[in-house]
Amino acid sequence: MIELSDILTLDRTVYSAIVHSKKKALEYIAETFCLSIPTLNAHDIFDGLVQRERLGSTAIGHGVAIPHCRLEATTQAYGCFVLLKEGIDFDAEDHQQVDMLFSLIVPMEAHEEHLEFLATLARLFREETFRRQLYQATSRDELYQRLIGK
Protein backbone atom coordinates (compact mmCIF):
# COMPACT_ATOMS: atom_id res chain seq x y z
CA MET A 1 0.00 0.00 0.00
CA ILE A 2 1.29 3.42 -0.94
CA GLU A 3 1.65 5.97 1.86
CA LEU A 4 1.52 9.73 1.27
CA SER A 5 4.67 10.05 3.36
CA ASP A 6 6.48 8.16 0.56
CA ILE A 7 5.98 11.06 -1.86
CA LEU A 8 4.99 14.13 0.19
CA THR A 9 7.27 16.31 2.30
CA LEU A 10 6.55 19.26 4.57
CA ASP A 11 8.17 21.68 2.10
CA ARG A 12 5.75 20.51 -0.60
CA THR A 13 2.73 21.04 1.67
CA VAL A 14 1.12 24.46 1.35
CA TYR A 15 -1.43 25.88 3.77
CA SER A 16 -3.85 28.65 2.79
CA ALA A 17 -2.40 29.61 -0.60
CA ILE A 18 -4.02 32.35 -2.64
CA VAL A 19 -4.47 31.80 -6.38
CA HIS A 20 -7.32 32.99 -8.55
CA SER A 21 -7.43 30.55 -11.46
CA LYS A 22 -6.69 27.02 -12.53
CA LYS A 23 -3.69 28.21 -14.56
CA LYS A 24 -2.24 30.08 -11.57
CA ALA A 25 -2.78 27.03 -9.36
CA LEU A 26 -0.84 24.83 -11.79
CA GLU A 27 1.96 27.42 -11.98
CA TYR A 28 2.05 27.59 -8.18
CA ILE A 29 2.28 23.80 -7.93
CA ALA A 30 5.11 23.65 -10.50
CA GLU A 31 7.07 26.30 -8.61
CA THR A 32 6.49 24.55 -5.27
CA PHE A 33 7.88 21.30 -6.66
CA CYS A 34 11.00 23.10 -7.89
CA LEU A 35 11.70 24.83 -4.58
CA SER A 36 12.39 21.48 -2.95
CA ILE A 37 13.59 19.54 -6.01
CA PRO A 38 15.96 21.88 -7.88
CA THR A 39 16.71 19.27 -10.56
CA LEU A 40 13.18 19.69 -11.90
CA ASN A 41 12.09 22.47 -14.23
CA ALA A 42 8.94 24.44 -13.35
CA HIS A 43 8.15 25.06 -17.02
CA ASP A 44 8.27 21.32 -17.81
CA ILE A 45 6.05 20.50 -14.83
CA PHE A 46 3.56 23.24 -15.72
CA ASP A 47 3.44 22.07 -19.35
CA GLY A 48 2.89 18.47 -18.26
CA LEU A 49 0.08 19.44 -15.89
CA VAL A 50 -1.60 21.65 -18.51
CA GLN A 51 -1.37 18.93 -21.17
CA ARG A 52 -3.04 16.47 -18.79
CA GLU A 53 -5.80 18.99 -17.93
CA ARG A 54 -6.52 19.40 -21.65
CA LEU A 55 -7.57 15.74 -21.69
CA GLY A 56 -10.15 16.48 -19.02
CA SER A 57 -10.29 18.05 -15.60
CA THR A 58 -8.49 16.23 -12.80
CA ALA A 59 -11.07 17.52 -10.31
CA ILE A 60 -12.61 14.49 -8.57
CA GLY A 61 -15.44 16.31 -6.78
CA HIS A 62 -15.95 17.55 -3.22
CA GLY A 63 -13.55 20.47 -3.80
CA VAL A 64 -10.58 18.23 -4.66
CA ALA A 65 -8.37 18.01 -7.75
CA ILE A 66 -5.44 15.70 -8.45
CA PRO A 67 -3.41 17.38 -11.20
CA HIS A 68 -0.73 14.96 -12.36
CA CYS A 69 1.72 14.21 -15.13
CA ARG A 70 4.64 12.06 -16.15
CA LEU A 71 8.07 13.61 -16.57
CA GLU A 72 11.24 12.48 -18.32
CA ALA A 73 13.31 14.45 -15.80
CA THR A 74 12.46 12.36 -12.74
CA THR A 75 13.23 8.83 -11.61
CA GLN A 76 10.82 8.79 -8.68
CA ALA A 77 7.31 9.93 -7.79
CA TYR A 78 6.76 13.22 -5.98
CA GLY A 79 3.68 14.76 -4.44
CA CYS A 80 2.66 18.32 -3.60
CA PHE A 81 -0.42 19.30 -1.60
CA VAL A 82 -1.93 22.78 -1.74
CA LEU A 83 -4.83 23.89 0.42
CA LEU A 84 -6.24 27.10 -1.03
CA LYS A 85 -7.61 29.94 1.07
CA GLU A 86 -10.54 30.22 -1.37
CA GLY A 87 -11.85 27.80 -3.98
CA ILE A 88 -11.28 28.23 -7.72
CA ASP A 89 -13.05 26.98 -10.82
CA PHE A 90 -11.38 23.74 -11.91
CA ASP A 91 -14.01 22.51 -14.37
CA ALA A 92 -15.24 19.92 -11.87
CA GLU A 93 -18.11 17.67 -12.92
CA ASP A 94 -19.93 18.43 -9.66
CA HIS A 95 -19.47 22.19 -10.39
CA GLN A 96 -17.91 22.76 -6.95
CA GLN A 97 -14.95 25.06 -6.64
CA VAL A 98 -11.68 23.32 -5.82
CA ASP A 99 -9.66 24.28 -2.76
CA MET A 100 -7.63 21.09 -2.23
CA LEU A 101 -5.05 20.07 -4.81
CA PHE A 102 -2.81 17.05 -4.52
CA SER A 103 -0.42 17.08 -7.43
CA LEU A 104 1.55 14.05 -8.51
CA ILE A 105 4.62 13.75 -10.74
CA VAL A 106 5.89 10.34 -11.78
CA PRO A 107 8.62 9.09 -14.10
CA MET A 108 7.60 8.67 -17.72
CA GLU A 109 7.78 4.85 -17.60
CA ALA A 110 6.00 4.43 -14.22
CA HIS A 111 2.61 3.33 -15.56
CA GLU A 112 1.62 0.92 -12.75
CA GLU A 113 2.96 3.17 -9.99
CA HIS A 114 1.15 6.17 -11.50
CA LEU A 115 -2.19 4.38 -11.54
CA GLU A 116 -1.69 3.02 -8.03
CA PHE A 117 -0.92 6.49 -6.65
CA LEU A 118 -3.94 8.01 -8.42
CA ALA A 119 -6.26 5.31 -7.10
CA THR A 120 -4.95 5.75 -3.56
CA LEU A 121 -5.32 9.53 -3.72
CA ALA A 122 -8.83 9.36 -5.17
CA ARG A 123 -9.94 6.88 -2.51
CA LEU A 124 -8.43 8.94 0.31
CA PHE A 125 -9.77 12.33 -0.82
CA ARG A 126 -13.27 11.00 -1.41
CA GLU A 127 -13.54 10.32 2.34
CA GLU A 128 -15.43 13.19 3.94
CA THR A 129 -13.81 12.56 7.33
CA PHE A 130 -10.33 12.88 5.84
CA ARG A 131 -11.18 16.13 4.02
CA ARG A 132 -12.76 17.57 7.16
CA GLN A 133 -9.59 16.80 9.15
CA LEU A 134 -7.52 18.68 6.57
CA TYR A 135 -9.86 21.69 6.68
CA GLN A 136 -9.52 21.78 10.47
CA ALA A 137 -5.73 22.14 10.35
CA THR A 138 -4.49 25.55 11.50
CA SER A 139 -0.91 25.46 10.16
CA ARG A 140 1.25 23.88 7.49
CA ASP A 141 2.84 21.53 10.04
CA GLU A 142 -0.54 20.36 11.29
CA LEU A 143 -1.83 19.97 7.74
CA TYR A 144 1.18 17.84 6.79
CA GLN A 145 0.81 15.64 9.89
CA ARG A 146 -2.87 15.07 9.07
CA LEU A 147 -2.03 14.24 5.46
CA ILE A 148 0.52 11.60 6.36
CA GLY A 149 -1.62 10.22 9.16
CA LYS A 150 0.48 11.07 12.20
Q: Catalytic amino acids?
A: 68
From the list 67, 71, 78, the residue with the least C-alpha distance to 23 is 67
From the list 4, 12, 9, 19, the residue with the least C-alpha distance to 84 is 19
In this structure, are strands 64-65 and 59-61 parallel, antiparallel, or unpaired? Answer: antiparallel
Residue 137 Cα distances to 52, 61, 141, 144, angstroms: 30, 21, 9, 9
Residue 25 · residue 82 · CB < 8 Å: yes
